[in-house]
């Protein structure tokens, strides 16, 4: 999952955001499916 977070730039995106909901993160990432699965692991 670390590799996926890195390749999809989720870590970069999250580092610039305040604490956010799944919906807010998904909207910014433009990919709810990957974000939901990725966050579900943590």
Model pLDDT for residues 1-39, shown as the tens digit of each residue: 888 888 888 999 999 999 999 899 999 988 888 888 888
Query: How many distinct structural domains can be found in the chain?
Result: 1
| Res 42 pLDDT > 80 | no
What is the pLDDT, as a whole number, of residue 21?
92
Q: Which two tokens stand for residue 24?
A: 């807010």
> What's the CA angle centered on 6, arms 1 and 38, to 5 degrees?
35
Nearest-angstrom CA–CA distance, 3 and 24: 22
What is the pLDDT, as a whole number, of residue 24?
94
**20: containing domain:** 2-41
What is the pLDDT, as a whole number, of residue 4?
85
Query: What's the burial of 10, exposed, middle or buried (CB within 10 Å: 0-12/13-18/19+)?
Result: buried
Using DSSP's 3-state secondary structure scheme, residue 18 falls into coil
What is the pLDDT, as a whole number, of residue 39?
85
């Amino acid at each position: 999952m670390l590799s996926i977070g890195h390749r999809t730039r989720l870590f970069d995106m999250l580092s610039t955001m305040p604490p956010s909901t799944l919906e807010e993160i998904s909207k910014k990432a433009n990919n709810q499916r990957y974000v939901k699965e990725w966050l579900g692991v943590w």
